[in-house]
Amino acid sequence: MRPSLKIALAWMAILVALTAGPGLGRPADPSDPQIVSVPTAPGLAVRLRRMGLDPFAEWEGQIYILASPRGLASLRSAGISYAPENGRLSSSRFAAAGSQGGLNGAYHSYKELESDLFALEQQYPALAKVYDLGLSLEGRHIYALKISANPARDEAEVLFLGCHHAREWISVEVPFLLGKYLVENYGLDSDIQRLIDSSAVWIIPLVNPDGLEYSIQTYRYWRKNRRDTGDGSFGIDLNRNYGYQWGADDDGSSPNPDSEVYRGPAAFSEPETRAVRDFFLGRNIRALVSYHSFAQTIIYPWGYTTVPAEKDAAMEAIAAHMAALIQAVNGRTYSYGESSRDMYLTNGDLTDWAYGVSGIPAYTIELPPADEIHGGFFNAEADIASIFSENLPAMLYLIDWSIRDFRPAPPQDKNDPGRDAPGRPRRIIPSLLGWNPRSGGN
């Protein structure tokens, strides 16, 4: 399927989820963004983005926009007439997709996740350790779970992250469940044992704890963190706040605090992105996946430009392999490609930054659903297990890939705090299947 059509279909699911009504949190507040549509015209989407608006889909001659009251005012003052879409697509067929048992049902809240992470550490002390990477804006901990059988040894390190975007609840579950699976199967499965004996798997399941709590307690559709921007709006898009080509243009992110893709006043202005940055720079991560939802897509740098990255072919080969492994489980197809070409322009995202500063393969995986109207951001609780299990072989493959050709550093002095010391300077190992750190260029 053409990516543009696929994306349009994926976005349609957002519309439906947004307009489904029941189970989506509190009733609509006048200050909440609402969906409107305007007739498509050449260059209009770019113009809308420059106005700080969030044109998120084009479908059958209409551009759909998620707009705050201020956004609607700027449409009016620009003489662009729009039609409200909220409710237009609602149907009992879709309503069930938003239902969750309790507020967050089987999905983790911040507190539930915290407790489950420490429970894993307690139950599997030889394999699992929880690290605190720092505090969010509202003072919640950003945790990393390290899975390793040889924590004192220099090992190949792989990183899986979730929930840059608050409403993408499934993106917490998939990396968390990986950690749980690895410790529970280490003693039962010789393949898992082999992987964990030779690697350190890092899991940061909740980059945006404040946003997640707000999404659970107050407004299910919340995306950004909870920064008070001082002008009556809240939130910075954490996945537009990283410091590589940050703010390269106003198409891949917005300078407008009102926007859903507001990049913040400066790169790394937010404690959440600084926590990830400082962690990453203190380690020697050889590959990473940042989970999002939804689209069923595996994308890699660049996001800020459509020019292929120096390692485009190598990143594509890994993505293709992951997509095939995923499809073999449940038959779901995940497309793959360069972020800017397969999805849309983004600047300041984690993967551009990680690849840009260290040359490692860095992926965004947009989890299901994709092209069916099955709830968009609001995956059914019953789908958590199948979405995790279809992603597991690709995760294990990436760990295995990271082990290959890894050469550990010489044994450390006994008094050396070791690789576990946060903030330890990272080294770049250039021998990774010809995966050399990039040296300038695109």
Binding site for Zn ion (CB under 5 A): 165, 168, 292
Q: What share of the chain is helix, strand, coil (3-state, %, to 5)?
A: 35, 15, 45
Q: Which lies closer to Zn ion via its Cβ, residue 388 or residue 401?
A: 388
Shortest separation between residue 383's beta carbon and Zn ion, angstroms: 17
For the residues of 232-250, what is the DSSP string, one character each?
S-B---GGG-SSSSTTS-S
User: Which of the residues 366, 372, 381, 390 is marked catalytic?
Assistant: 366
Q: Is 366 a catalytic residue?
A: yes
List residues bridging with 362 in a β-sheet. Answer: 288
Shortest separation between residue 343's beta carbon and Zn ion, angstroms: 11
Shortest separation between residue 312's beta carbon and Zn ion, angstroms: 22
Q: Which lies closer to Zn ion via its Cβ, residue 168 or residue 390?
A: 168
Shortest separation between residue 168's beta carbon and Zn ion, angstroms: 5
Q: What are phi and psi of 222, to 5 degrees?
A: -60, 140
Q: Which lies closer to Zn ion via its Cβ, residue 302 or residue 401?
A: 302
- Between the CA of residue 416 and those of 138, 149, 284, 412, 424, what are the distances in Å? 34, 19, 17, 6, 10
CB neighbours (10 Å) of residue 86?
Answer: 16
Shortest separation between residue 201's beta carbon and Zn ion, angstroms: 22
**Residue 175: both structure tokens together:** 């990396």
CB neighbours (10 Å) of residue 93?
Answer: 10
Q: How far is residue 119 CA from its own chain's centroid?
A: 25
Helices (H) and strands (E) in the chain, counts: 13, 12
Q: Which lies closer to Zn ion via its Cβ, residue 14 or residue 130?
A: 14
Shortest separation between residue 293's beta carbon and Zn ion, angstroms: 7
Q: Which lies closer to Zn ion via its Cβ, residue 85 or residue 260?
A: 260
Shortest separation between residue 366's beta carbon and Zn ion, angstroms: 7
d(CA 318, CA 406): 17
**Residue 419: both structure tokens together:** 């690789």
Q: Which lies closer to Zn ion via its Cβ, residue 129 or residue 164?
A: 164
* C-beta of residue 86 within 8 angstroms of C-beta of residue 34: yes
Q: What per-residue string of b and e applies to 355-373 under the rule 16 or more CB within 10 Å gives b? A: bbbbbbbbbbbbbbbbbeb
* C-beta of residue 158 within 8 angstroms of C-beta of residue 201: yes
* C-beta of residue 390 within 8 angstroms of C-beta of residue 143: no
Shortest separation between residue 49's beta carbon and Zn ion, angstroms: 17
Q: Which lies closer to Zn ion via its Cβ, residue 168 or residue 213?
A: 168
Torsion-angle region of 250 (φ positive above 0: left; ψ -120 to 50: alpha; else: beta)? alpha
d(CA 166, CA 211): 5
Q: Which lies closer to Zn ion via its Cβ, residue 167 or residue 274?
A: 167
**Residue 364: both structure tokens together:** 């965004």
d(CA 278, CA 422): 8
Active site residues: 366
